[in-house]
Every structure is written in C-alpha cells, then in structure tokens.
Chains A and B, each alone.
Chain A
Amino acid sequence: MKKIDLHIHTVSTIRDRSFNFNLDNLKKFVSEAGLDAIAITNHDVFDGIQFRAINEALDVVVFPGIEVSLDCGHVLIISDVADLEDFEDKAKLIAQRITKIENNISVDELQKIFCDLNDYLVIPHYDKKPSIEGETLNQIASYVSAGEVDSAKKFIRAIKDETKLTPVLFSDVRICDELDRLPIRHTFIDCGELTLKAIKACLHDKGKVALSETDGNRLFQIFDDGQKLSTGLNVLLGKRSSGKTFTLNRISESNDNVKYIRQFSLVQQDDDAYEREFNNELQRTRSRFIEEYLSGFKVVLNDVMNVDLRANERSVEKYVSSLLKSAEEADKKDAFSKTALFDESEFPISEDRVLSDLIGSVRQIIENKEYRAIIDRHIDINFLKRLACELIELLWTKTFEKKKKKLVNGLIRDIRESLKMHTSAVQVEDVDLYRVSMDKRKVDRFSEIVKSLQREAIISEESIQGFSVVAKKGAFAGAGEIKSASGVKTAFRDSFQEYGRPYNYLQTLLANESLTPSELYKLFAKISYRILNRDGFEVSGGERSEFRLLQEIKNAQNYDILLIDEPESSFDNMFLKSDVNQIIREISALMPVVVVTHNNTVGASIRADYLLYASKEAEGGNVVYRLYSGHPTDLKLSSLDGKTISNHEIMLNSLEAGPYSYNDRKEVYEAIKD
C-alpha cells in the first residue's frame, strides 16, 4: 500500500490566512507521516520555481497541481511531472483570471484552459466544502477520478455507497513555520509504481483505496504519532487519572466537527433550572414543527393585519351621511357640484391572485422533473404550454386594464378634490363596499380560526427511542405565558384582556411597538410539549436525563466523530444495556465513536470494534502516559512504542475491579439464584 496526500498548500493566496512556507516542515511532515507521494495544490496559482525546489528537496513523488475555484466549488487538477512546463503555462491563465476573492471560473473556461482534462488527475471537493455537486459535477464527471472528503466518516460513507465516487482523504494543510501538529488525513492506495496514470487507475477501483495500511477501512489514524482508531466503535478503558479524558480532549482538539458528550453533562442538578432548560431546548428543536404547523395561520394573520375595521366603518358612515346631505341639498347645486365627476365613484380594483397562482401551478406541471413520466402519461406538454401562454396573455390584458383603471381613479380623485374646493355643496364620499364587506368576512373567519386554534388538542405525537414527545395546542392561561412565548420583555396584561376577541387582541399586539409583526402568529395559541415515558406518564428527572442522552447521541449524526465520557455516571444499568448500548452500536455503524467507561455493562456488553487502554506508568522516576490498543479478541494490546499488556487482565481490572471480585460477585449471584 502507498500513502498519498495530494492536497497540500505551500503558497499563501487570497483564499488562505497569511502564512510563510517552510520547506523543512514539509520535509518533516513527509518523512514522519511516511508519505509516498504528495501533490502541491495551491489556490488558483502554481509557483513553478518553488515546486522545482520542493521536488529537488524531497525523495518522494511530488506532483504539480492547482486547486481551482470553480463557480460552485473547488477542484484539484494534478498533472504529470513530465508535463511540468505546459502545466505551468496553463496554471498562469488560471492565475490571471482569478485575482480577487470573488473571482472564479466556469467549467467551460476550465476545459478551454486545460484542453483535455483526461490528461490530469481531476479531484473535486465532494463531501467537503465548498463542494462541487449537481450540474457542475455532471459536466466534469467523465474526467473525475475521485472525490475529496474531509473525515473518516464521510470516507466510509462514500465507500459503502455504490452511487458515490471513490473517496480520498487528504490533509489540505498549509505548510507553514508553525506546524505544531502534523496532519492526520491521508489515503492509502494499492498501487505499484506511483505514476499519475497508475494512481488514476487505482482510484477508479474503490477496493484499492483505504484509510489504513493493513486494516483496510476498519481503522484510521487519529493522532500524528500514528495512533489509530476504529471507524466504528472504540471503547477506552483505564484507571482513574490515567489520561482517558485527556485522550478524548486530544481527539476533540485535533479533529473538526466533533460531538463530545462530557462526563456528567447530562446529570440533573438544579431541578427548576434543569426543567426550564430542558423545555427550552425541546421548544428550540421543535420550533420548525411549530413553524410548519402555524404556517397556514400565518398567511391568514398577515392578511388580517392589513384590515382596519374601524377605518372601514368610518368610510361607510361618511358615505351615508354625505349621500343624505347631498340629496337634501340637491336644489342648491352650482356649476361645480353639477359636474358628473363631482360625485363620481372610483373603479373597484381587485388583486387577481387566482390567475397568477394558476399560471404558477401550470408552470409547475410543465417544469416538474420528478413526476415527469406520470404527467406526460396524462397530459400533452404542448397543451400545457399553450394553456400557460393563454393564461399569461389574459394576465397581461387584465393587468393592463387594471393599470388603466388606476390611472382613471387617480384622475377622478384629483378632479373631485379640485371641484370640492370651489363649492359649498356636499360631495358624496366614495366607498368600496366590496372591500368593506370582504374585510368583515375576513375578520369573522379569522376569529373562527383563532378560536379553534385555542381549543385544546394534541397536534402531534412523536416517538423517540421509547419516549413519546406530545405536542399540545390550547389557549394561553395568562399574560405571563404570552410573554414567554413572545420572548420579548413587554407587558401583555392589557392585551390579554382582549384575548377572547381575536381581532381586538391583534390590534393591541400591533399597537405594541416592542413586538415584531412577523412574529405575532406565535401569540394566539400555546403550543406545549410533554415527554412521556414508556408507561405513558410524565418523565421523572432521571428519565429526562436518559431522554437527553439519547437525543444527544442521535444528534451526533451531523458530526464526524462522537466522543462519550462515562455515560454510566448518570444512568442505571438497565437503561445502559437496553437503550444506550443499542443506540451507540447503531450510530457506530455510521461514524467513529469513542466511549470512555468503567462500567462492565457498557464496556463488556457493547461489543466494541476496537479497544484502547490508557495507562499511567512510572518509568525511571518519570510518569509516562501510554495508550495501548488492539482488537477486542486480541490477547494482547500494544502501544505505539512496542509495549504490550494482557487484554484479559485489563478487561477484568477495568470493568470488574479485578478477577477476585469478579469471581466473588459471580458466587454471590449464584448463591441467591432461585
């Protein structure tokens, strides 16, 4: 197997933080990591002079390359060293095009510059940001040999998924003066001579790439000293103060995107504070649900917010009284009030949303790709296109008419106003009765909706690892509850007095300047959550911690590695065995997990893939911290400096307090067995 790292930065560009390249550190890295081949891939630039110096100084294969910024992500283009001069020329064209951080190039430009991309090793950022996906990935797919990922978890995921590219894990390191920790990301390939062609051939076969030299994809390197971990479940044992938590911290520091559940972090301490925090967290994680549940109501509310019933009433009153007065004074009309426009009403203008929505829907049917086959089976797309065009033409006509009416209305208003100034006659006030009655209907419907929203009912019941989370809607019991739902420090006492009259209540909320109108939809009904245990009762403090642990572990799926420090410190053995072990095993099928434990229920029953043992040893007057590791079935675990230790002894000492107490306990259990 050959160890390669084809993504190394040696030039500080606009896309990097500033650094000074250090050739000695590159030499150190290549030699200590035992790399067989590297590629120099700087952002949108290739420094030929520096490359030649590097190539001269190292006795491993060094490929010239460049990390190109495409419009939607980055791609590595790596060349054969034999074509160095030609590559240098082409890279210059890239550098000329990209001089500012916002510059990038298109796939077409990339192809034009490099002529035939088949002559290069093309590796896009794949499961790594900024990633190349979708249409852009399709455009370059035929040249791509592998896709770069940024964690062991993503590597394994791509390996297992037949539809994914061959993954490669590279350091993406900046070789600078201060290289404190050597990078630990690299890929092994089953390749003879390390030529560009041979590497390309290897990368086309997922069976020829691996995370480790001898253990395939079961192990991967976690520290720069060469220590490995399983890509599945690791159990870390050790006495008190032997460096277990130190080891977890080290993993956490040397890796990105780590989910770390610290010891005792889930234990309940202050009841009230804990419950509040627990509920807040629950509300937060469920806020999307609330949002979705209330989305329909939100639309209604936004519409009703624009309704001003009082203003409508006033305009009707004005209309009636002016009409009556004008009738009374009919015989007193002068030249101004006799003009037809003096009492003219405006053209009613309505927003024709139906037609726009209809056009949108037809367009959706035309454009939809997912259900294309079904749609095509029933409707000829050309009919749909003609329908869309006809509807759009109708929309134009209607819009045009509306615009004209608006213009005329403006004219009527102007003339009415001017005429009014020259006469003492009463002018009949205009009123849009259609809108006035529509507004009234809107408010009635709104009130009905709010009333039913406030009726108590369970709106969702979700089962999570044996617990059920029940969401309930109902009315707010007091101003305090509305305040906490709003999250705003303002008084709701006056508003609450109108709570039973939704429209009036809305007016009081709108009058409150501390509230944001777009957030008001949360203040009409209370949505609360309860967690019920397996028996359907409200959870106890301990059960709440269990629920939280399971949630935390579940949430770890979004991370690249999961660390759990002594889960037993908060839970009983039955829970650990039945739930925690199972869920940890499940998640370790997807990502590397490290569990620190003293507990035999976790340590011995969880069926780890890899064992680690942290040990504090006295050696020649000094204290040495050592990490032993091996597979659970190995008789001996070994450390990186070649020491070994008996696996059986460690297991019994760490998990059963030694063979004597193990046997002793066994006898006690035997004696009381019925």
Chain B
Amino acid sequence: MKLLKIEGDLGYYRDDRGEFTPVDKITKEDLLRLVNLTLDEEVEFEEYKDEDLKNHAHKIVYKSIFEKLRGLKERRQEFIDESERLYLQEYERYRDEPSQQGD
C-alpha cells in the first residue's frame, strides 16, 4: 500500500478514506494513522526528490514525514519488541503455568 506520493509538483498522503490528499492538510491524527499502517502493513512511500517538488511548504512536510516513516519501517520489529518486552518474563510464566488451587 502506497502511503506517500508525489504528483504534479505536490506531495500527497493517503487519508482515512484511502484517497490522496495534499500533505499541507495533514493533521496529527493522520500522522498517527500512517504510523500504524507502517507498523502493521506492507507499505511503500514514493522517494523524496528535491527537484520533483516545487512547492516549498510541501517539500518541508513531505521530506520530514517520508524520512520518519521510512526509518520506522526499517526498525519496525525493534519498535514493536521494545514495548512488548515489559513484564515479558512474568507474562510467559503466568500464561504457561496454570497451577492447582492451593499450590
């Protein structure tokens, strides 16, 4: 699934309806959704190239989001693992060892 694309001098992101909206309209909720998709799905982003984007505001927003999401995609497993390491030992012990009442 493509999350970011460049078309006709402007940068676009995939919005909650699956349509592409100019990046200058992106809000924090949209960003969080893109982060979720990057962690959960197979996603791709159109490479940022300075010459492709003429609009300066779009350049700034697109470049930043593109680099962050690409970095996240590369470190996807590490990101997920770090949150799930909390209390993992206890979790595994309690999950695997049903005990008799009065043990």
* Pairwise interchain contact A415-B86, C-beta atoms closer than 8 A: no
Which of these, A346, A376, A393, A412, contacts B101 with CB under 8 Å? A376
B28 sits at the interface (CB 8 A): yes
A340-B24, A389-B95, A419-B57 known; A395-B31 Cβ under 8 A:
no
User: B63 — nearest CB in chain A belongs to which residue?
Assistant: A418
* Pairwise interchain contact B95-A385, C-beta atoms closer than 8 A: yes
A1 sits at the interface (CB 8 A): no
* Pairwise interchain contact A381-B101, C-beta atoms closer than 8 A: yes
* Pairwise interchain contact A388-B90, C-beta atoms closer than 8 A: yes
* Pairwise interchain contact A411-B24, C-beta atoms closer than 8 A: no
Interface centre among B31, B72, B95, B103 (most CB of A within 10 A): B31
* Pairwise interchain contact B32-A335, C-beta atoms closer than 8 A: no
* Pairwise interchain contact A366-B64, C-beta atoms closer than 8 A: no
Q: Which residues 335-367 of A have a CB within 8 angstroms of B?
A: 335-336, 338-341, 344-347, 359, 363, 366
A378 nearest CB across to chain B (Å): 11
* Pairwise interchain contact A418-B94, C-beta atoms closer than 8 A: no
Residues of B within 8 A of A400 (CB): 80, 83-84
Interface flags for A128-143 (1: CB within 8 Å of B; 0: not) read 0000000000000000
A385-B97, A392-B91, A411-B65 known; A335-B31 Cβ under 8 A:
no
* Pairwise interchain contact B87-A339, C-beta atoms closer than 8 A: no
Interface flags for A363-400 (1: CB within 8 Å of B; 0: not) read 10010000000001000111001101100110110011
* Pairwise interchain contact A335-B24, C-beta atoms closer than 8 A: yes
Chain A: interface residue total (CB-CB under 8 A)? 41
* Pairwise interchain contact B57-A335, C-beta atoms closer than 8 A: yes
* Pairwise interchain contact B87-A395, C-beta atoms closer than 8 A: yes
User: A339 — nearest CB in chain B belongs to which residue?
Assistant: B24
Residues of A within 8 A of B94 (CB): 366, 385-386, 388-389
* Pairwise interchain contact B102-A376, C-beta atoms closer than 8 A: yes
B56 sits at the interface (CB 8 A): yes
Chain B: interface residue total (CB-CB under 8 A)? 37
* Pairwise interchain contact A407-B68, C-beta atoms closer than 8 A: yes
B4 nearest CB across to chain A (Å): 13
Residues of B within 8 A of A382 (CB): 98-99, 101
Residues of B within 8 A of A389 (CB): 91, 94-95
CA distance in complex: A552, B31 (Å): 70
* Pairwise interchain contact B28-A412, C-beta atoms closer than 8 A: yes
Interface flags for A19-40 (1: CB within 8 Å of B; 0: not) read 0000000000000000000000
* Pairwise interchain contact B68-A335, C-beta atoms closer than 8 A: no
Residues of B within 8 A of A345 (CB): 28
CA distance in complex: A418, B86 (Å): 35
CA distance in complex: A404, B79 (Å): 9
* Pairwise interchain contact A405-B32, C-beta atoms closer than 8 A: yes
Interface flags for B46-77 (1: CB within 8 Å of A; 0: not) read 00000000011100110011001000100000
B94 nearest CB across to chain A (Å): 4
* Pairwise interchain contact B80-A335, C-beta atoms closer than 8 A: no
User: B23 — nearest CB in chain A belongs to which residue?
Assistant: A339
A414-B64, A418-B60 known; A396-B79 Cβ under 8 A:
no
Which of these, B27, B80, B82, B90, contacts A340 with CB under 8 Å? B27
A422 sits at the interface (CB 8 A): yes
User: B35 — nearest CB in chain A belongs to which residue?
Assistant: A404
A403-B82, A404-B39, A415-B61 known; A347-B99 Cβ under 8 A:
no
A423 nearest CB across to chain B (Å): 9
A408 sits at the interface (CB 8 A): yes
Q: Which residues 510-545 of A have a CB within 8 angstroms of B?
A: none
Q: Show 23 residue pairs from A and B whose CB-CB distance is below 8 angstroms, ordered by the A residue.
A: A335-B56, A336-B60, A338-B24, A339-B24, A340-B24, A341-B26, A344-B27, A347-B28, A376-B103, A382-B98, A385-B95, A386-B94, A388-B94, A389-B94, A392-B86, A392-B87, A393-B91, A395-B87, A403-B83, A404-B35, A407-B72, A415-B60, A419-B57
A residues with a Cβ closer than 8 A to B are 335-336, 338-341, 344-347, 359, 363, 366, 376, 380-382, 385-386, 388-389, 392-393, 395-396, 399-400, 403-405, 407-412, 414-415, 418-419, 422
- Besides A414-B64, A419-B61, 8 new A-B residue pairs in contact (Cβ under 8 A), listed by A number: A335-B24, A363-B90, A376-B101, A385-B98, A407-B68, A411-B68, A412-B28, A415-B65
